[in-house]
Amino acid sequence: MAATRIAILYGSETGTAQDFANILSHQLRRFHYKHTVCSIGEYSAQNILACQYLFVICSTTGQGALPQNARQSPQGKVEGTLWSVLKRSSLPPTLLDHLQVAFLGLGDSSYSKFNFAIRKLHNRIVGQLGAREIFPRLEADAIGLAGSNAGNGNGIELVYSEFEKRVLSFLNDQFPFMTVNGEQVPREPIATDIYLKPEYYLEASGNDKGTASVPCTFEGDSSVKYGTVVTNKRITATDHFQDVRQLVFSSQDGENYYPGDTVSIYPYNTDADVQAFIDTQQHWASIADVPLQIKTPTSARGICDGGLVSPLTLRNLLKYHCDIVSIPMRSFFMKTWTFAVDHERLPDGKDQLQQQRDKLREFAESEDMQDIYDYCNRPRRSILEVVQDFMSLRLPWEYILDYLPHIKPRFFSISSQPCNKDIELTIAIVRYKTILRRIRRGLCTNYISDLSEGSIIRYKVQYNDLLPAGKQDRPVIMISPGVGLAPMKCLIYAQLFNPMLLFFGNRYKDKDFLYADTLQKWADENRIKLFVCFSRSPDDSPGLKYVQDAVWENAREVARLITEENAVVYVCGSSGKMPVQVRLTLCEVLKKWGNFPDDKASEEYLKDMENSDRYLQETW
């Protein structure tokens, strides 16, 4: 990757930071700025010495860590990556004094280590290596309670919008002119109704051999492994609304995984959804199964996470790489509204065409995000449904890898015994009705629910180094409602802590008491102390509705283990209210039974626990 003086780098776990980076790149291209855009892990450490203007967008994962694509190269290597080099203690404090930089962090303040990743990057690049900050760091909060959007009810999109404005304002002030044919002319943006073609695109390969019966393989990512499904069993009652699966698959060579490690699964779209998308683009029908090739100035490696499908056809790309059932982000509308040109399929012809163009352009360019939120996010409307609604869209198949988001692997905590050849996951199937009264299914969990014994899945094991070094052989307090039980089950198998207290909660004892027999057996054998509560069957846990209630009922023992025996606290489950309420409860527990005089003192103690890896939280 050639060095440029402007670079946009992202660290992204779910794809949001990457999408914002691509939107910013799109805007810089409109203003004729040559630049680089890539993950932090892909960017050469050598190139930062030639870079003059750096824009970093990064989320936080795990216990305040940088996302994997910020820590590792696309080939999975850590050594020699930008972040590994920047962390070297031998670097001089003036190494980056040539660099001007701006930061945008994406986080969720229900996590204790809110936006830690961007703060680490900021502290090292600016605070210790001498780069100059263009404007103060922006931090977005997904729940709108902290950071740059604290208390205003706005989501992370508006924080990004502010970041983009400041970046463009800075660059355009620095470079109001550009060189065209050897002359200096005012810098004017390319009109938004002109599609900016990407560096890589699809074209017919000229190989007319049939592809329909050829089995698919994937090329370009040797770190992806193949597993064979052994069990895919529902472990909640059939009359319960929540379908939770125990998915067990065998690995080819065995895996050395440990408590807290995760598996990333590579799902794909259903054939029905793929065909439905092709049906919205009638001009694709004749090319759907024709062999294609990617034209790129460099290499097609790394364009698609997990390797590129072969045979490379439009149908296979839509099935294995394009996330057509995801909710569209603004970048989708920015890149596609100009293709609303087909009035022949509209009942009201050209009049309706103009209405559709105006609405799509509004989604793409309006600073007021309410309309796009009401149309896309509130009803969870998918890209497939958008193109079905806007039949005027005549999308060029050559550029689908640019304007359609790519399928990302989904991460699940391992719940089986460490280093077992068979890997067990505990997965809640996503299925719900929207305000449109339509059934919504998660891409990955829908894929998982259809797996049967003998099915082959593609996966990677992510090693998260969750367990704090030197803090084993001491008590652990595990707080895990719902499928948050998964990593706790793996931890109990490992028997690294003693004693082990497990606070588990769900809705009904007779419907979703996950792994009830196993947990009760462990409790009878004194491997764990088990405390359970069920929010919708109060007779089965009198006075205890949620896990924090069970913690409070056992406050004296919890406080003693934390303050006298240096217990580790591990909270895992859904984000939102649960981790906040658990933390507040622990503060009260410490204040009443841990001899702390007030809220401030107990809160400071919890913060010290977080900083020393004694308070661990994994929520989603």
User: Looking at residue 215, what is its pLDDT?
Assistant: 86
- On whether 442 is known to bind a ligand per the annotation, the reply is yes
CATH superfamily of this structure's domain 202-403: NADPH-cytochrome p450 Reductase; Chain A, domain 3 (1.20.990.10)
535 in a known ligand binding site:
yes
Task: Answer yes or no: are the C-beta atoms of 407 and 14 closer than 8 Å.
Answer: no
Q: Is 113 annotated as a binding residue?
A: yes
pLDDT tens-digit readout, 54-97: 999 999 987 788 998 999 888 778 899 999 999 999 999 999 99
Distance spanning both ends of the chain, measured CA to CA: 34
CATH of region 476-619: 3.40.50.80
**Annotation-wise, does 110 bind a ligand?**
yes
Tell whether residue 620 is among the known ligand binding residues: yes
The reply to whether 413 sits in an annotated binding site is yes
**Average pLDDT of the residues in 543-550:** 95
12 known member of a binding site? yes
Whether residue 410 is annotated as binding a ligand: the answer is: yes
Asked whether residue 114 is marked as a ligand-binding residue, the answer is yes
With a cut of 90, say whether residue 505 has pLDDT above it: yes
Confidence band (pLDDT; 50, 70, 90) for 611? confident
- The pLDDT score that the predictor gives to residue 366 is 84
280 annotated as a binding-site residue:
no
Could you check whether 202-403 and 476-619 share the same CATH topology?
no
Q: CA Rg, the chain, in Å?
A: 26
Give me the pLDDT at residue 208, please: 66
Q: Do 397 and 284 meet the contact criterion of CB atoms below 8 Å apart?
A: yes
607 has pLDDT over 80:
yes
**All structural domains of the chain with their residue ranges:** 6-186, 202-403, 476-619
Largest Cα span, the chain? 83
Confidence of residue 153 (pLDDT cuts 50, 70, 90): low
Is 179 marked within a binding site? no
What pLDDT is stored for residue 552 in this prediction?
98
**Who has greater pLDDT, 368 or 614?**
614
* Contact by Cβ (8 Å): 613, 567: no
Residue 14 is labelled as binding a ligand? yes
353 is in an annotated binding site: no
Locate 322 and state its tokens.
């394009």
Is cis: bond before 499, omega within 30 of 0? yes
Q: Is 433 annotated as a binding residue?
A: no
pLDDT > 70: what percent of the chain?
A: 96
**Is residue 412 marked as binding?**
yes
| Chain center to CA of 484 | 17
% of the chain exceeding 90 in pLDDT: 74
Q: pLDDT value at position 136?
A: 97
| pTM metric for this prediction | 0.90
Measured distance CA(71)–CA(89) in Å, rounded: 17
- CA distances to 35, 153, 156, 163 from 148, rounded to whole Å, are 27, 11, 9, 10
Instruction: Give the pLDDT confidence score for residue 152 in this predicted structure.
Output: 65
Q: Is 108 assigned to a binding site?
A: yes
d(CA 617, CA 375): 33
Q: Which residues contact 244 (CB under 8 A, 6 or more apart)?
A: 234, 235, 236, 426, 427, 428, 429, 483, 512, 514
User: By CB neighbour count within 10 A (0-12 exposed, 13-18 middle, 19+ buried), where does 439 fall?
Assistant: exposed
User: pLDDT band at 2, cuts 50/70/90?
Assistant: low
Mean pLDDT (the chain, rounded): 92
Q: What is the pLDDT of residues 242-292, one digit of tens each?
A: 999 999 999 877 788 989 899 999 999 999 999 999 999 999 999 999 999
Q: Which CATH number fits domain 6-186: 3.30.300.30, 3.40.50.360, 2.40.170.20, 2.40.50.140?
A: 3.40.50.360
Q: DSSP letter for 147, please.
A: G
DSSP character at residue 375: I
Residue 480 is labelled as binding a ligand: no
Residue pair 244/234 in contact by the 8 Å Cβ criterion: yes
- Consult the annotation and say whether 416 binds a ligand: no
Which tens digit of pLDDT belongs to each residue from 454-503?
999 999 998 877 776 677 789 999 999 999 999 999 999 998 889 999 99
- Which pLDDT does position 311 carry in this prediction? 95
3-state class (DSSP) for residue 324: coil
DSSP notation for 264-283: EE-----HHHHHHHHHH-GG
